[in-house]
Every structure is written in structure tokens, then in C-alpha cells.
């Protein structure tokens, strides 16, 4: 059994941490492309959301209202205004859209005659000298802004809908239906007796009626090359959306770096982690449009089983001992190396297929799954091992910039990392000599070091890593074909 421990370098990268994802309090509504954030989002979620307030129609912005200028946001059924001078929950107020819309229409509700009767009990409201009856009263009393009162109090209903302005009467709504309608300060109630009980009272889309229907979002189309990807392999993700100003995305848990190509298409390289189960991996893309809207798209990448062999490695007590004694140094080394992978330099330095960085025998293939001392299979060989004599030249596989050149790492020995741009890095471990300096630009085939047996190995070899972001991909597929 040939020196299994050679492949030790392996596990240790697993000890490194992925960068924590920033927790955002913003929520994107893909149907209209706008985000709602902070206090307005909290208010939206606490006070009825979609059926009561509806989808956002624009960004939170400084808006002129009849009561003054506020940081506010339009929704299908209302306008949420931020009043930071008020203590919560009074720091978010709803616009008086019912009153505003009636005014726009030139209707003076005070002069309007009595309307149609509605079956059921009524409540007379002296403030506007109107009654709310039957199903409208039930709805009015059942909904409110949560101000902390038990159940739904009258002041909570008033905060949401306000007082009735008109008596109920038949009106033609924006969908062309003639329905019994009653206007309130902040809402318009419509009665649809043919609907199931929960939908017999519907709220008018006052926001839409005041500022217009939202423009349809452009569609985003995705092209995958290849369309199905083996575990541990790379994929080109092309997105057609010329008007986009920026694209973000994730493949599984890994962030994608998108760039606009000369042909106007957006493109990102992705990697499928070796330990991804066969099946599908979620691909999420968000594109920023010039008007501030976001086009969100979710699809799946088909993941095929690469049938990597599994091996168990028994760590001899001496190695275990060495690991234990160097825990802190190894953690520092991993932190250093793992801080480099997520960095994205926009300029693509490579072109065409990569070259092999050294001559020699492939002593361990990429992707072999590993368990240690009979434990779970939760790691894999992250690169390609090329065994040859100490002193064998190691050359740059492609144009790149040296971003790490260390001579004595505990695990990796003499180590070099090249940044090829667009989030693609290559790493070279266990070298006896490191012949480049950080910041240096190297050309394909340029000598960067010499094979050694430095770090945690039992024999001379070069370990070669290829990464897209933090995801390891099979170095041989970067030799086999050109990646854009």
C-alpha cells in the first residue's frame, strides 16, 4: 500500500471556515422586483402582508405626500411611511390613500348621498358620520395594525383602515367588476358575495390606482455549459439580460462571480463540490436593473455521480501526534490559505487550456473520498498529486499573479497560490523550492518552484489544487479544455 499519508494535506483544509453570509433584513419580492427592508418590512410582515398591503411597487424613497415628505414606499394597496420621530410601532404609518384617491377623482365624499344597505349589524362612526355594516363591519373589526392590544381593538382597525368616508354603493372597480364598494381613509372595501367566505371582502389596489401598474420585469435566460455536471467539475453559467447592471448568484452554497462579456452576455464559472449528492444543485441569480429593480431567477443544475472511489486512511499515531501538536499553526495556515480562495480579481489572466504544472506520475487522483481511522466519509482529495523526484520543475499552468509564496507551511510545505482572475486560483503544495514572490505576474510554463516532500507528506510530490471560489474542481478538466 503506497504511502497513504501523502494525501494528508487533504483533510486539513476542511478545518478552514467559509466566510459567514451577511444577514440582511431586506426581502426581495420577485413578482415586482423590489425589496422591502428594515422597519417597513417588519410592519409589512406583522400587519397582513400580501392580502392587506400587497406587493411593493417601488423602492423606499423620499416621497411627497399630502402630509409632507417622508421616507416611504408604495405597495399595491397602500403606502408605508416611515416616521422615525415616533416610537415603535407608531414609526410606520399608512398613507390615507382612500382619501387621496377620492380627491384625485374630484369626489367630495361629504356631499355624497346615502348608499345601498348591507345586511347585518351596523356601527355608526361619528367622526365621518358614516356607518359600517354587515360583512364590511366584520372585516373592519377583524383586521388592524398590531399595536399590542388584546385581539383587534378599534384603534388598531382605525390605524389600518381609518374611518369610513362613503356609504356603500355599486361602483365599477379596476378589474371592470361592478361591486358594492365602500371607501375608507386608507382602504376601499369591495363585496364579492359569490367568492368563498375568506374572499368575500377584498381590498382595492389603491396604490396601483394612484401610481399605475408596475412595468413587467424582463425575463432572464440561463445557459449552462455543460447542462449536466459531474461532481467536482466546472460549469459555465451564461445569462442573457443585456440591460442588467450587475449580477449576483449562488450555485448551491457557493457565491458566483458574474462578468459581462464582449458579446453583452453575463458569464460566471461555477464548481460543483465533490461531496454534492447526485441530483440537482440550486442555482440562484439576481440581476440589478438600472431602475433599481431586481430580477430573481432560480433554477437547478443537474449533478451526475462521478463515482469517485472511497478510501479509508489510518493515521499512524505519530502523524496524529504531529497534527495535535501543531493545531494552532495548522489553523493559522488554513485561515491564511482559505482567505485567498474567495477573492475575485475581475481581469481574466488565463486563456486556453491549462498546462500540467509538472511531469511525473499521477499518484493520487482528484476527488477520492476519504474517511479517517474508519470515521465518516466527509472529506476528499482536493487536488491532483504528481509524484516525481525532489527538484523536478514546477511551472505555472496558466498566466496568473502570485498571491501566496510561503516556504515553510506546516501542512503544505513550500506553497504557491496563483490568482488567474475571475475567482479562479491554483495552488501548489509541498515544494522544496519556491521561486516566485507575491505580486509577481507569471506566464504559462514559467518556473515557479521545485517538487519536494515538504509539509505533511511521506514522499516527494506536487499537490495541485484548482479552485473556483472556494470550490475545488478537477485540475485535469482545466487541462483538457479551455474554460472561458
Q: Which residues bind Zn ion (CB under 5 A)?
A: 383, 385, 463
Nearest distance from residue 411's CB to Zn ion, in Å?
Answer: 11
Of the two residues 10 and 402, which places its CB atom closer to Zn ion in the complex?
10
Indicate the Cα dihedral angle 37, 38, 42, 48, nearest 10°. Answer: -30
Choice between 137 and 431, CB closer to Zn ion: 431
- What does 182-226 look like in DSSP terms, one character per residue? EEBSS-EEEE-TTS-GGGSEEE--HHHHHH-PPPPPPP-EEEEES
The smaller minimum CB distance to Zn ion, of residues 130 and 461, is found at 461
Contacts with 50 (C-beta within 8 Å, 6 or more apart), sequence order: none
- The answer to whether the beta carbons of residues 38 and 71 sit under 8 Å apart is no
CB of 394 to Zn ion, least distance (A): 14
Cβ–Cβ < 8 Å for 174, 208: yes
Of the pair 186, 381, the CB lying nearest Zn ion is at: 381
Q: Which is nearer to Zn ion, 209 or 385 (CB)?
A: 385
Helix (H) or strand (E) holding 43: helix 38-46
> What dihedral do alpha carbons 288, 289, 295, 300 form, nearest 10°?
-60
Minimum separation from the CB atom of position 235 to Zn ion (A): 23
Nearer to Zn ion, 33 or 383 (CB): 383
Residue 383 CB, nearest approach to Zn ion (Å): 5
In terms of DSSP bridges, do strands 461-468 and 424-434 run parallel, antiparallel, or are they unpaired? Answer: antiparallel
CB of 463 to Zn ion, least distance (A): 3
Residue 9 CB, nearest distance to Zn ion (Å)? Answer: 5
Give the nearest distance from C-beta 214 to Zn ion in angstroms: 53
Output 157 or 363, the one with its CB closest to Zn ion: 363
What are the angstrom distances between the C-alpha of 20 and each of 273, 285, 445? 18, 19, 37
Q: Closest separation between CB of residue 471 and Zn ion, Å?
A: 17
Distance separating alpha carbons of residues 301 and 326, to the nearest angstrom: 40
Between the two ends of the chain, the Cα-to-Cα distance in Å is: 40
Distance, in Å, from the CA atom of 207 to the CA atom of 270, rounded to the nearest integer, reads 41
Number of residue whose CB is nearest Zn ion? 463
Rounded least distance, CB 460 to Zn ion, Å: 12
In contact, 482 and 353? CB cutoff 8 Å: yes
CB nearer Zn ion, residue 39 or residue 381: 381
Which of 278, 307, 300 shows the shortest CA–CA distance to 227? 300
**Which one, 381 or 399, has the nearer CB to Zn ion?**
381
Q: How far is the CB of 311 from Zn ion (least distance, A)?
A: 13
Our CB check for Zn ion shows the closer of 450 and 463 to be: 463
3-state class of 28 per DSSP? Answer: strand
Q: Give the C-alpha separation, 14 to 338, whole Å.
A: 10
Question: Distance between CA 25 and CA 39 in Å, rounded?
Answer: 9
Number of helical H runs and strand E runs in the chain: 10, 34
User: Quick one: 3 or 265, whose CB is closer to Zn ion?
Assistant: 3
Minimum distance between the CB of residue 367 and Zn ion, rounded to whole angstroms? Answer: 11
Pick the closer one to Zn ion by CB: 89 or 383: 383
Cα separation of 237 and 218, whole Å? Answer: 19
Q: Are 62 and 69 in contact (CB under 8 A)?
A: yes
Shortest separation between residue 440's beta carbon and Zn ion, angstroms:
24
The secondary structure of residue 138, as a DSSP letter, is: H
In 3D space, the residue among 304, 307, 303 whose CA is nearest the CA of residue 252 turns out to be 303
SS3 of 281-337: the string is EEEEEEEECCCCCEEEEEEEEEEECCCCCEEEECCCHHHHHHHHHCHHHHHHHHHHH
Q: C-beta of 366: minimal distance to Zn ion in Å?
A: 9
Residue 191, classified by CB atoms within 10 Å of its CB into exposed (0-12), middle (13-18) or buried (19+), is buried
- CB closer to Zn ion, 205 vs 430: 430
CA torsion sign for 143, 149, 154, 160 is: negative
Amino acid at each position: 500500500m503506497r504511502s497513504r499519508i501523502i494525501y494528508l494535506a487533504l483533510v486539513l483544509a476542511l478545518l478552514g471556515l467559509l466566510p459567514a453570509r451577511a444577514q440582511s433584513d431586506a426581502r426581495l419580492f420577485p413578482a415586482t422586483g423590489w425589496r422591502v427592508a428594515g422597519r417597513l418590512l417588519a410592519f409589512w410582515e406583522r400587519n397582513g402582508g400580501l392580502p392587506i398591503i400587497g406587493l411593493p411597487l417601488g423602492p423606499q424613497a423620499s416621497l411627497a405626500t399630502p402630509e409632507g415628505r417622508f421616507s416611504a414606499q408604495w405597495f399595491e394597496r397602500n403606502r408605508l411611511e416611515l416616521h422615525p420621530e415616533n416610537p415603535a410601532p407608531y414609526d410606520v404609518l399608512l398613507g390615507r390613500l382612500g382619501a387621496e384617491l377620492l380627491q384625485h377623482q374630484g369626489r367630495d365624499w361629504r356631499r355624497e348621498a346615502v348608499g345601498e344597505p348591507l345586511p347585518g349589524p351596523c356601527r355608526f362612526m361619528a367622526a365621518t358620520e358614516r356607518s359600517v355594516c354587515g360583512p364590511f363591519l366584520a372585516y373592519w373589526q377583524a383586521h388592524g395594525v398590531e399595536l399590542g392590544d388584546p385581539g383587534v381593538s378599534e384603534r388598531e382597525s382605525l390605524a389600518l383602515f381609518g374611518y369610513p368616508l362613503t356609504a356603500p354603493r355599486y361602483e365599477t372597480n379596476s378589474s371592470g367588476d361592478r361591486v358594492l364598494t365602500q371607501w375608507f381613509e386608507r382602504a376601499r372595501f369591495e363585496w364579492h358575495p359569490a367568492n368563498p367566505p375568506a374572499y368575500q371582502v377584498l381590498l382595492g389596489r389603491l396604490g396601483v390606482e394612484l401610481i399605475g401598474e408596475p412595468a413587467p420585469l424582463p425575463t432572464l435566460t440561463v445557459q449552462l455549459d455543460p447542462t449536466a455536471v459531474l461532481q467536482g467539475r466546472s460549469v459555465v453559467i451564461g445569462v442573457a439580460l443585456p440591460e442588467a447592471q450587475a449580477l449576483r448568484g449562488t450555485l448551491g452554497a457557493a457565491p458566483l462571480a458574474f462578468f459581462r462579456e464582449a458579446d453583452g452576455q453575463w458569464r460566471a464559472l461555477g464548481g460543483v463540490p465533490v461531496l454534492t449528492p447526485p441530483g440537482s444543485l440550486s442555482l440562484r441569480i439576481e440581476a440589478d436593473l438600472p431602475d433599481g429593480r431586481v430580477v430573481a431567477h432560480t433554477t437547478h443544475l443537474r449533478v451526475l455521480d462521478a463515482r469517485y472511489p472511497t478510501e479509508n486512511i489510518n493515521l499512524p499515531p505519530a502523524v496524529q501526534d504531529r497534527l495535535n501538536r501543531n493545531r494552532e499553526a495548522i489553523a493559522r495556515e488554513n485561515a491564511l490559505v482559505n482567505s485567498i480562495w474567495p477573492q475575485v480579481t475581475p481581469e481574466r489572466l488565463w486563456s486556453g487550456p491549462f498546462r500540467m504544472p509538472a511531469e511525473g506520475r499521477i499518484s493520487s487522483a482528484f476527488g477520492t473520498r476519504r474517511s479517517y481511522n474508519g470515521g465518516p466519509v466527509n472529506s476528499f482529495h482536493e487536488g491532483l498529486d504528481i509524484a516525481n523526484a525532489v527538484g523536478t520543475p514546477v511551472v505555472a499552468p496558466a498566466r496568473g499573479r502570485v498571491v501566496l509564496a510561503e516556504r515553510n507551511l506546516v501542512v503544505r510545505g513550500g506553497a504557491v497560490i496563483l490568482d488567474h482572475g475571475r475567482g479562479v486560483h491554483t495552488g501548489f503544495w509541498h515544494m522544496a523550492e519556491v521561486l516566485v514572490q507575491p505580486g509577481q505576474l507569471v506566464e504559462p510554463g514559467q518556473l515557479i518552484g521545485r517538487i519536494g516532500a515538504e509539509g505533511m507528506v511521506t514522499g516527494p510530490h506536487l499537490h495541485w489544487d484548482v479552485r473556483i471560489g472556494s470550490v475545488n474542481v478537477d485540475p485535469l478538466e482545466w487541462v483538457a479544455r479551455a474554460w472561458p
